[in-house]
Amino acid sequence: MQHDEVIWQVIRHKHCSFMAKIETGIFCRNPYNVTGVCNRSSCPLANSRYATIREENGVFYLYMKTIERAHMPNKLWERVKLPRNYEKALEIIDKHLMYWPKLLVHKIKQRLTKMTQMRLRMRKLELKTREKIMTVPTKQKRREARREEKAEKAAVLEKSIENELLERLKKGVYGDIYNYPVKEYNKVLDMDTLQAAGEEEEEEQEYEVEYVEGYDELEEEEEEEDMEDFGGFAVNRVGADVDNVDAGEDDEEDDEDMEPVEPKRGRKESKAALRKAKKDEDGAKSKKRAKVLVEVERDLADERQVATH
């Protein structure tokens, strides 16, 4: 037989698993408690006739317990669904709890009001954007950052992507329907012009080197031919030793008359220009020698004619 006073004396003074004693008071953790306070009128175990409101998946339900169902634990609580409209929910509570104690009905309505306000605040908070505080594993983050840096250095992503895009652009894969960034496009054009200018300079240098080498060979061949041509004058110089003094004086006079011509110097004198100047000096000396030999032969011939007469 159900005896509420005995149950309350046992729960209050001996032991209750739902009781929570703290500095501010004694509270009840039973989910069917209306107020959450551990007292005689609010205890769902020590009252045979009891009612409360609970929420399940965003829906409010009115739970009612009567003494006629005390012998059936599986059917102890009767559940009634309450509408989302606050006024209609109050009407249903008044309808089902018409002959119940007024204090209990008032506590149930207070609980409904509190839960309705709480649901409204929850909806407003969900609509607002709020920062979510989360713990960040610093060691793992640093490790991943180091791995990313190593991977970027190994792959050289930017260069490979840039080269790939340039190749596609040159092949005409994209056509004329894309807008290219002006800055990057000008940069690529400048790079192309610099490369073309460098290639042209290299070609000019190679061409000049080849031309100078060929010119030197021709100059050497011409010098050898000139030496062969003037080889006969060396034989005739045997008779020129008769009057060395006159020949020496004539040579000095000719040297004074002939002034060396300085070659025009530009920014840099090449090997070909130096060799050409050397060749001109050698030719002038050979001409001087030929002139001296002819004059000596004429003097000797005049002396012979005078001697015969």
The whole-number average pLDDT for the span 208-214 is: 46
**102 belongs to a structural domain:** yes
pLDDT at 114: 94
The whole-number pLDDT of residue 177 equals 56
Report residue 241's pLDDT band, with 50, 70 and 90 as the boundaries.
very low
pLDDT at residue 244 greater than cutoff 70: no
- The reported pLDDT for the residue numbered 234 is 43
Domain extent for 90: 4-127
Whether 234 is in a domain gets the answer yes
pLDDT attached to residue 245: 40
Mean pLDDT of all residues belonging to the chain: 75
Query: 148 or 298: which carries more pLDDT confidence?
Result: 148
Q: How confident is the model over 148-178, as pLDDT tens digits?
A: 988 888 777 777 787 887 788 777 777 665 5
The domain boundary, picked from 96, 112, 127, lies at 127
Q: Which domain CATH number covers 48?
A: 3.30.390.110
Evaluate if residue 122 carries a pLDDT over 70: yes
- Average pLDDT on 258-281 reads 58
DSSP 209-278: HHHHHHHHHHHHHHHHHHHHHGGGHHHHTTGGGGGHHHHHHHHHHHHHHSPPPPPPP-SS--HHHHHHHH
CA 251 – CA 285 distance, rounded (Å): 10
Calculate mean pLDDT across residues 266-273.
54
- Give the pLDDT band (50/70/90) at residue 271: low
Q: Residue 32 domain-assigned?
A: yes
Q: Is residue 182 part of a domain?
A: no
Average pLDDT over residues 190-215: 62
Residue 173, pLDDT score: 75
pLDDT band at 219 (very low <50, low <70, confident <90, very high): low
Same domain, residue pair 28 and 121: yes
- Judge whether 79 lies within some domain: yes
CA Rg, the chain, in Å? 61
Measured CA to CA, the distance from residue 51 to residue 42 in angstroms comes to: 10
Q: Which of 63, 97, 127 is the last residue of a domain?
A: 127
Checking if the pLDDT of 237 tops 50, the result is no
Given a cut of 80, is residue 214 above it in pLDDT? no
| pLDDT for 2 | 77
* Residues 63, 104 contacting (CB under 8 angstroms): no
Domain boundary among 127, 162, 178: 127
Report how far residue 89's alpha carbon sits from residue 61's, in angstroms, rounded to the nearest whole number.
10
186 part of a folded domain: no
Enter the DSSP assignment of 88: H
Is 240:247 a contact under the CB 8 Å cutoff? yes
Alpha helices in the chain (DSSP H): 4-13, 86-96, 102-127, 138-155, 157-171, 182-229, 233-236, 244-257, 271-308
Cα dihedral sign for 34, 39, 44, 50?
Answer: negative
Question: pLDDT tens digits, residue range 60-89?
Answer: 999 999 988 888 889 899 999 999 999 999
Q: What is the pTM of this model?
A: 0.43
Number of domains composing the chain: 2
Domain membership flag for residue 286: yes
The answer as to whether 287 is a domain residue is yes
